[in-house]
Structure 1
Amino acid sequence: MESIGDLMHGFAVVLSWQNLLYMVIGIVLGVIIGVLPGLGGANGVAILLPLTFSMPPTSAIILLSCIYWGALFGGAITSILFNIPGEPWSVATTFDGHPMAQNGKAGEALTAAFTSSFVGALFAVIVITLAAPLVASFALQFGPAEKFSVFFLAFCSFVGMGKEPPTKTIAAMMLGFVLAAVGTDTVTGQLRLTFGSTELLSGFDFLIAVIGLFGIGEILLTMEEGLSFRGKAASINPTVVWQTWKELPRYWMTSLRSCLIGCWMGITPAGATPASFMSYGIAKRTSRNGDKFGQGEIEGVVAPETAAHAAGTSALLPMLSLGVPGSPTAAVLLGGLLIWGLQPGPLLFVEQKDFVWGLIASMYLGNIVGLIIVLTMVPFFAAILRVPFSIIAPIILVICAIGAYTVHNNTFDVVMMLVFGVAGYFLKKCNYPLAPLVLAIVLGDKAEESFRQSLLISQGGLGVFFSNALVSTIMVLGLVALFWPALSNLYGRLLTPRRAA
């Protein structure tokens, strides 16, 4: 009951005309970002984060989170109409969404995608509302060893449960740890990896790295690919929406299963992309019309969109309650909280109730507003793709440069942004994941601090990380996540002789 009262107070915070305006602006910007291939939620939030420094933290997080929700919605538009995934998790939506558009059912496909996205996000927000305070209160028992074990679990989850090769994930993460170590040692006060440069005394600002890696890197890659947009036109009218809504309840089991898959994959944190593919694959195997998947089956749109939005939204649960982001966008938002002087974790629910519950309330309202906007403005958003990318790309580059400069009003940051952009381009060309790198940059110094504090308490003994049931359980879960591919292969080999027998 206390959570419900806090949530009602959160709605009172959100329902001011300024925050509602920020919500609408964020949704529209997010959909535009989601529509444009080469950007995405993490990129849009990273690029626009410096513009929120003069805003109150609650208004800023509402704007940025709504950009995220809008990007989730926008990815479906290009997938269905143009067969170009605006977001990585929208790839599975193209399998049946674009064939539906080619068959003259673009309106039905878009309505199903937007509605399923809303359902998945709503389910995840309810989970956050119920679970976040419990997780946060439980996390109040955490000392340095427990905090490090949570960071360890997050890092291991990216290595063992991600879709990229573990060696490349570890390499990207190690690079992030090196970048996080640049500057002044918080424990001894010694300078590390500054090489005599005064600009590096405070280390690399994570925001500069993120803008370069995601924003500039993606734009360079997209410019090289030379995207040209050809697709189907679409409009959504009330008749199409109503007829599609009458059909969607038939797939309630698919939606529920996709919600559960998405929430699990968002919290673990595997991410929205694996969630969408897993949900699509399971739906294809269990559906009565599984043989028709890929030919324009509406259930093939419902499953990945529901799972992707559930995963994208639930990724904020560990970020708010434990200070561990569950996705690249959540990592960027975590950095924003730190810049605004807010420490994500259990104390956030005690010290900043207005902020936390205002954000959770904005999730409810933001998804409702987002659903209304995308259902009514599809032709406008689709028309954005008619603008030549040679015009869009320079505009994005200028926005990135402005965002980098405003962090410290320093041209050195703009230069470093370009360096990170080139590095991001080559990392993507070589198929190295950026999410673990960003996670290590954001959490590397905090993980190091918790690790060293734990060793100081135990006088150098590593047994402190297995000193009680709580820390031991989390560390063991981390090891299981790290070696999950090997354990699953071993389990499969053990089952093979039994099946043969």
Structure 2
Amino acid sequence: MDAFISLIDGFAVLSDPMNIVYMFVGIILGVLIGVLPGLGGANGVAILLPLTFSMSPTSAIIMLSSIYWGALFGGAITSVLFNIPGEPWSVATTFDGHPMAQQGRAGEALTTAFTGSFIGAFVAVLVLTFLAPIIANFALRFGPAEFFAVYLLTFCSFVGMGRESPFKVLAAMMLGFSLAAVGIDSVTGQLRLTFGSVELLRGFDFLIAVIGLFGIGEILLTMEEGLAFRGKSASINMKIVLETWKKLPKFWLTALRGSLVGCWLGITPGGATPASFMSYGLAKRFSRNGARFGKGEMEGVFAPETAAHAAGTSALLPMLTLGIPGSPTAAVLLGGLLIWGLQPGPLLFVEQKDFVWGLIASIYLGNVAGLIVVLTTVPLFAAILRIPFSIIAPIIIVICAIGAYTVHNALMDISVMLIFGVLGYVFKKLSYPLAPLVLALVLGDMAESSFRQAMLSSQGDLSIFWDNALVGTLVALSMIMLFWPLIALGLNAFRNRPPGRASETL
């Protein structure tokens, strides 16, 4: 009941007409970012974050989160019409979405994708509304040791549960920790890894690094691939929408399953991409028409889009309640909160109640507004893809440079951005994940601070990390997550072992 009352107060925050304007602007920009390959939710939020510095934190986070929702919606447009995933999580949508477009059912495929996205986000925001206060109240009991254990669990989850090689994840994470350590030690005042450079005294600004890693790195990779847009045209009218909506209720179990998968992988450091693939695989396995998946099956579009939007929305839950981002975009939003002087975590629900519930209310309203926008503007955004990428790419690079410069009004930051852009390009070419690097860059300082505070309070005794049930459980879960690949390998070997002689005798 308290959550419902707080949500009503959140909608009161949205009564400011400018917040509604920022929400629609963010959604339109987000759809545009989602449509253009080479950008994405994290990239768009990172590039446009400096433009929100003059806004209030509430208005800024509403606009930035709306960019994210719009990007989630927009990624389906290129997947269906051009067979080019606008976002990584839209890859699974291409499997059945583009065949539907080739069959002249583009409007039906897009309506299915947008509706699935809407349902997934709605379920996730319900989870966020009623679960976030409970987690926040529980986290108020956390001390430095518990917070470090949470950070450790996050890092270990990325290593053990990620799709990439654990060694590559560790390498990326270690580089992120090293970059986070550059500058002045906040505890001792000593210089670390500055090598006598005055420019490195303030360390590597998180925002500049993210703009380079995501924005410039993706553009360089896309330019190298010589991307060209060729696809089907599409139009959506009310008749197509209503006819599609009549068919979707029979997929209610697919929607529920996809939403649950998305919420789980959004809260844990899985993300929207594995959620979409897992939901697609489950739908194909349990569907009566599983054999027709990949040939233009509506359920094959509905399942991944539902899971991807659920994961993208629920990733905000650990970010708001514990200060742990569940996705790269949530990590960028976390950096924005820190820039605005807000500390994500359980106290945010106490000290900045209007901010938190205004954000949650904007997700409800933004989800509805996003569905309306994409259903009415598909032809317009599809036409943008007719512009040669050789024209779009330099414009994006200029926007990235402007965004990096406005952080500190320093030309040096543009050079740093370009260096990180090359680093992001190399990481992509070598198939090294960027998310662990970004996570370590954002949380490295906070994890170090929590560890040192715990050590000071225990006078250097490491037993503080297992001297009570809560912190001991978190550390134990961290170790299980870290060594999960080895544990899974051992379990598989045990299941597949040949029968023993005793069994043969019997």
TM-score normalised by L of structure 1? 0.99
Structure 2 match to 1:381: 381
**Structure 2 residue aligned with 1:70:** 70
Tell me the residue number matched to 1:370: 370
- CA distance in structure 2 between the aligned counterparts of 1:32 and 1:282, rounded to whole angstroms: 30
**Which runs of no fewer than 5 residues in structure 1 stay unpaired?**
none
Aligned amino acid, residue 440 of structure 1: A
- Secondary structure of the residue aligned to 1:200 is coil
Q: After TM superposition, give the deviation of residue 170 of structure 1 in Å.
A: 0.5
Deviation of 1:310 after TM superposition, in Å, equals 0.4
Aligned to 2:477: 477
- Partner of 2:330, secondary structure, is helix
Kindly indicate whether residue 183 of structure 2 is the aligned counterpart of residue 177 of structure 1: no
Matches within 5 A, 1:52-67: 52-67=52-67
Tell me the equivalent position of 1:93: 93
Q: Which residue of 2 aligns with 1:3?
A: 3
Q: Which residue is 2:231 aligned to?
A: 231
**Residue number in structure 1 paired with 2:348:** 348
* Cα distance in 2, alignment partners of residues 36 and 18 from structure 1: 27
- Distance in 1, Cα, partners of 2:392 & 2:417: 19
| CA distance, structure 1, for counterparts of residue 322 and residue 65 of structure 2 | 18
Could you tell me how far apart the structure 1 residues matched to 2:160 and 2:270 are? 9
Counting only pairs closer than 5 Å after superposition, residues 284-299 of structure 1 correspond to structure 2 as: 284-299=284-299
CA distance in 1, matches of 2:486, 2:292: 34
Shift of 1:481: 1.2
Instruction: Tell me what 1:265 maps to.
Output: 265
Counterpart of 1:282 in structure 2 is 282
Regions of 4+ moved over 3 Å: 497-501
Deviations 1:27-85 (A, max 9, x none): 00000000000100000000000010010000000000000000000000000000000
Q: Distance in 1 between matches of 2:148 and 2:81?
A: 45
Residue of structure 2 in register with 1:121 after alignment: 121
SS of the residue 1:199 aligns to = coil
Share of identical aligned residues, percent? Answer: 73
- 2:476 and 2:247 mapped to 1: Cα distance? 45
1:404 aligns to what? 404
Q: Aligned ranges for residues 239-250 of structure 1 at < 5 Å? A: 239-250=239-250
| 1:360-394 C-alpha deviation (Å, 9 max, x unpaired) | 00000000000000001100011110001111111
Residues in 2 aligned to 1:81 and 1:115: alpha-carbon distance in whole angstroms = 17
Q: Tell me how far 1:498 sits from its aligned partner.
A: 8.2
Letter in 2 for 1:109: A
Residue 43 of structure 1 aligns with which residue? 43
Structure 2 distance, partners of 1:485, 1:97, is 33
Compare 2-11 and 335-344 and name the one that shifted more: 2-11
Alignment-mate amino acid for residue 268 of structure 1: T
Match of 1:302 in 2: 302
What does residue 320 of structure 1 align with?
A: 320
Give how far 1:476 is off.
Answer: 1.1
Distance 1:463 1:300 in 2: 50
Distance 2:82 2:170 in 1: 35
Structure 1 distance, partners of 2:294, 2:483, is: 34
Q: Per-residue deviation at 1:15?
A: 2.6
Q: Which amino acid aligns with 2:212?
A: G
Q: C-alpha separation between the residues in 2 aligned to 1:72 and 1:220?
A: 22
Q: Distance in 1 between matches of 2:105 and 2:15?
A: 37
Amino acid in structure 1 at the alignment position of 2:185 = D
Distance 2:293 2:95 in 1: 8
Q: Is the counterpart of residue 490 in structure 1 residue 481 in structure 2?
A: no
**Hey, what's the Cα distance between the residues in 1 that align with 2:499 and 2:354?**
57
* 1:434 aligned residue: 434
1:383/1:499 CA distance change after superposition, 3 Å: farther
Quick one: distance in 2 between partners of 1:271 and 1:486? 22
Letter of the aligned partner of 1:323 in structure 2?
A: G
The offset of 1:499, in angstroms, is 9.0
Change (3 A) 1:258 1:499: farther
Distance between the aligned counterparts of 2:182 and 2:73, measured in 1? 37
Shift, 1:479, TM fit: 1.2
Give the counterpart letter for 1:227 in structure 2: L
The residue identity in structure 1 corresponding to 2:489 is N
SS at match of 2:344: coil
Distance in structure 1 (CA, Å) of the matches to 2:330 and 2:113? 23
Which position in structure 2 is the counterpart of 1:102? 102
Q: Does 1:83 align with 2:83?
A: yes
3-state secondary structure, aligned to 1:261: helix
Amino acid at match of 2:118: F
Question: 1:334 aligns to what?
Answer: 334
1:496 to partner: Cα distance:
2.1
Amino acid at match of 2:470: L
Q: Distance in 2 between matches of 1:365 and 1:467?
A: 45
Whichever residue aligns with residue 185 of structure 1, its letter is: D
For 2:226 and 2:260, locate their aligned partners in 1 and report how far apart those are by CA, in whole Å.
38
TM-score, structure 2 normalization: 0.98
Paired AA for residue 155 in structure 1: F
Q: How many residues align?
A: 501
1:161 aligned residue: 161
Q: Deviations over 1:381-427 (max 9, x none)?
A: 11110001111111111110110010011111111001111111111
CA distance in 2, matches of 1:296, 1:8: 42
Give the equivalent residue in structure 1 for 2:417: 417
Query: Which residue identity does 2:474 align to in structure 1?
Result: I
Question: Residues of 2 paired with 1:496 and 1:361: CA distance?
Answer: 50
What amino acid is the match of 2:270? A
Q: Deviations over 1:132-189 (max 9, x none)?
A: 0000000000000000000001111111111111100100000000000000111111
1:182-213 CA distances to partner (integer Å, 9 max, x unpaired)?
Answer: 00111111000111111111111000100000
Q: Distance in 2 between matches of 1:422 and 1:304?
A: 32
Deviation at 1:269, TM superposition (A): 1.3
Q: Does 1:361 align with 2:361?
A: yes
Give the CA RMSD over aligned residues.
Answer: 1.0
